[in-house]
Amino acid sequence: MNFEYQNPTRIIFGAGNLSRLGEVAGGYGKKALLVTGGGSVKRSGVFGRAVASLTAAGIAYAECTGVEPNPRITSVARGAEIARKEGCDMIIALGGGSVMDASKVISAATLYDGDPWDMILHGQEHVYVPTEALPVITVPTLAATGSEANCGAVITNEETKVKSFIQIPLLYPKAAIVDPELTVSVPKDQTAYGVCDLITHVTEAYFNGSGTTPIQDRFAEGVILTAMEWGPKAIADGNDLAARTQIQWSALVALNGWVNVGTNAPYPVHMMEHTVSAYHDITHAAGLSIINPAWMRFAARTNTAKFVQFAERIFGLKATATDDLACALEGIDRFEQFLRSIDCPTRFSELGIDDALFETYATDTLKIVNDGQGNLPGIPVMSVADMVGIFRSAL
């Protein structure tokens, strides 16, 4: 293990903390661009409470509404334009991962005269790496991505059908106000997708990491077991604040870097899913819940011992040996059953997606990330044919 770790995001966690938004924001600026999605925060009353807190603290604000799920670069450009015109000196993201991701890129795009798409990795020759950005405060209303306390952002170019990311330390939010009360209005399906997303964040590093991170393995297993215990409770009763709290914290720790530190893992399932959602605009974790078990069955044949560990520690199965492939595959079946039990899709056909573009997803994925030899990094590395085979097995 050889790594450097620093996550500078100040985390203010717990029910009721939305009321502190104004006080916290006062430490970073005087006029905020308040970024929101399609209206859920207005319907739930969260927006009104956020504005009341800002106003009481003497913070002015301008609005950027309508950031769509799978946020588009056009929304980023629009937000940056408003922030410049209104003279905003900070960005407040009030919403799910899509709003938070758009907000992070808006924070840099506001101070950049060029096309904000230059910042998103998409196989282009010129990548603009921003060096300055407005401070960002995240206020997540959905437990899923962990975007509130990490430095990544995933953005879609709807014209070219590319969904890709930027991940640089500059984009760490200054503060995250993580108030599980804000998630009680999340519908059952989005709650379940959040559970699937957060579990996938840790399975990626668990199965694709260096293999010499026993503490990280235990952290990851703790996150998975916690999500499998409390997720169904949050889905069954959206007002169960104890369950919402555990899921919110699980989602944050799953992708704030700490669980994965030292693994140096690529995220192949995410890379493949992003390409599929670029074409079909599906919910991110609906794609993950289809691709992840299919990928696991492929990878278990190479990395059997790790999948045996997963089967034993997560599902209490007993293997005959560390290369007991049947046990490894049984663990994956159990995982898929869990996803089905929370009504996540596990086949493309459930989303009306056929095999017409399987090769296109695979080749497009490699345009964003590859190992220099035409493969997608992971354990094992994947060729176009491997990816197509995985997609086909999930038809």
Which positions lie near Zn ion, rule CB under 5 A? 197
Q: Give the Cα separation of 382 and 268 in Å (integer).
A: 9
Give the one entry of ligand NZQ, Zn ion, none that residue 255 binds, where binding means its C-beta sits below a cut-off of 5 to 8 angstroms depending on kind. ligand NZQ
Q: Which helix (H) or strand (E) holds 152?
A: strand 152-157
CA angle 206, 207, 209 (to 5 degrees): 70
Residues 142, 177, 196, 296: which binds ligand NZQ (CB under 6 A)? 142
38 binds ligand NZQ (CB under 6 A): yes
Pick 328 or 387: Cβ nearer ligand NZQ = 387
Residues 8, 27, 39, 48: which binds ligand NZQ (CB under 6 A)? 39
Pick 197 or 324: Cβ nearer Zn ion = 197
Give the one entry of Zn ion, ligand NZQ, none that residue 378 binds, where binding means its C-beta sits below a cut-off of 5 to 8 angstroms depending on kind. none
Residue ranges in 185-267 assigned as alpha helix (H): 188-208, 214-236, 241-254
Pick 83 or 155: Cβ nearer ligand NZQ = 155
Stretch 61-100: interaction string toward ligand NZQ, x if CB under 6 A: --------xx------------------------xxxxx-
Q: Give the Cα separation of 211 and 224 in Å (integer).
A: 18
Reported for 311-317, long-range contacts at CB under 8 A and 24+ positions apart, including other chains, are 313/221, 314/221, 314/224, 314/225, 314/228
Give residue number: closest CB to Zn ion: 197
Stretch 193-212: interaction string toward ligand NZQ, x if CB under 6 A: ----x---------------
CA angle 332, 291, 358 (to 5 degrees): 140
CB 375 within 8 A of CB 383: yes
270 binds ligand NZQ (CB under 6 A): yes
Give the one entry of ligand NZQ, Zn ion, none that residue 231 binds, where binding means its C-beta sits below a cut-off of 5 to 8 angstroms depending on kind. none
CB 242 within 8 A of CB 210: no
Q: Give the Cα separation of 98 and 81 in Å (integer).
A: 18
Which residues sit at the interface with ligand NZQ, rule CB under 6 A?
37-41, 44, 69-70, 95-99, 101, 141-142, 144-147, 150, 152-154, 182-183, 185-186, 190, 197, 255, 270, 284
